Amino acid sequence: MQYVRLGRTGLKVSRLCLGTMNFGPQTTEPDSYAIMDRALELGFNFFDTADVYGWKLGEGVTENIIGRWFAQGGGRREKVVLATKVHGKMGEWPNESGLSALHIKKACEASLKRLKTDYIDLYQMHHVRRDTPWEEIWQAMEQLVREGKVIYVGSSNFAGWHLAQAQEAAKTRHFMGLVSEQSLYNLNDRMIELEVIPACEYYGLGLIPWSPLAGGLLGGVLQKISEGRRANEDVQKEIEKHRPKLEAYEAFCKEIGEAPADVALAWMLKNPVVTSPIIGPRTMDQLNGSMHVLDINLTDEQMKRLDEIFPGPGGPAPEAYAW
């Protein structure tokens, strides 16, 4: 495993981040334990989750699984840089979602209880909340940091403008503010190259891409279907929408002798702003197979070919759409 600093911090995290969203809904608890144990053996030290994962209102299914895994001891908690999130709906009452100071406090305490830990390494706002002032959000986060319940604060699904708002407000409070942004980013979804990536670079935020395989589209989906593996209706629609690109992409991967999923991740790791793409293995084989990507170093010519297949927005704004 390789390690890299998370944005401008001194914190070192593994070059790949273990996403846990499948734990519970698609991966059984014993299999989830086995995957996390194997991840530690492979050198993963960065695990990402969220209070809403498990998709049963207010239950925190995935956090509970991770907490019971931590409770087995063996240095499990101490070895993990633990990231979770706040914002999602955790109940039916008015203040059981969002980023009010009240919900941030209660959600953090509930996550700590489920995760069976007394601190969260990276506490991420799962979405921007336009109706909550930044002074309220930062006051709540500062209190959690003072209490030792949170070490670093991050964001997820923010626009570049939101990152700027957040950091400028934190600056006036002499608070470190955000250290990372978790965004949708992959070869097929490159919109954040316009504003978010430049903002991350300027403010020293680590970029943690989610869905690096575009929901499976970049994982050799055409080959899998030809081999008889079924895809749901939504995936079928996406395949037909992007079929020419996918055909060219899978042909390119075959040409260079690498698996499509590995090429998608290797392309992302070439971006110096990217810290750790989130991989969400459902099985042990998927986890073990992910390690090969660290040995792939795409050439400039290969990167150019990928840009031709999946053209981005044209670089950072405003040059991407103006002079």
pLDDT reported for residue 51: 97
Residue 227 pLDDT > 90, yes or no? no
pLDDT reported for residue 49: 98
Query: How far, in Å, CA of 100 to CA of 130, rounded?
Result: 11
pLDDT reported for residue 135: 97
Residues with a catalytic annotation lie at: 53
pLDDT tens across 63-73, in order?
A: 999 999 999 99
Dihedral sign for Cα atoms in the order 209, 49, 11, 161: positive
**321 vs 194, 197, 304, 318, CA distance in Å?**
9, 16, 20, 6
Query: How far, in Å, CA of 105 to CA of 110, rounded?
Result: 9
| Fold that domain 3-216+259-299 belongs to in CATH | TIM Barrel (3.20.20)
* 132-137 average pLDDT score: 97
How many Cα neighbours within 13 Å face the side chain of 195?
A: 10
pLDDT reported for residue 228: 56
Which DSSP helix (H) or strand (E) runs through 133? none
Residue 230 pLDDT > 70, yes or no? no
Q: Locate the domains of the chain by residue range.
A: 3-216+259-299
* 149-176 average pLDDT score: 98
DSSP for 228-266 reads: T----HHHHHHHHHHHHHHHHHHHHHHHHT--HHHHHHH
Residue 229 pLDDT > 80, yes or no? no
12 versus 288: the higher-pLDDT residue is 12
pLDDT reported for residue 163: 98
Query: How far, in Å, CA of 71 to CA of 65, rounded?
Result: 10
At residue 259, what are phi and psi to the nearest 5 degrees? -70, 140
* 107-126 average pLDDT score: 98
